[in-house]
Structure 1
């Protein structure tokens, strides 16, 4: 399991491989924009998606019109 430290949290590699590209982008840009509000919002979204995939609730978080 891979991880990196960001501000007040540890960001772990995803449990679902579908999120691996996003994790790699976050890890790559952490030295440049880590700690910014934008970066923290992206990390929160990433962690939420990882949770949703883990819980199997993907369909509930996707809305279509």
Structure 2
């Protein structure tokens, strides 16, 4: 049972890390954000804030966060 638990924890951690390391599709997010999709606006703002998939731009991030 302990081995199974350890395996599941490692597998889930690996999946989570892969999800975090993927670059967002900025063009898709930008189009959805402009159409008013709140989730896309937040993801786009976060991408600009962290520089993931785009050049880091805090002013652009603030624009999309607000």
TM-score > 0.5 by shorter chain: no
Task: Name whichever structure is richer in strand by fraction.
Answer: 1
Task: Name whichever structure is richer in helix by fraction.
Answer: 2
TM-score range, shorter chain: 0.3 to 0.5
Structure with higher Rg: it is 2
- Please, what TM-score do these two structures have when normalized by structure 2? 0.32
- Please, what TM-score do these two structures have when normalized by structure 1? 0.33
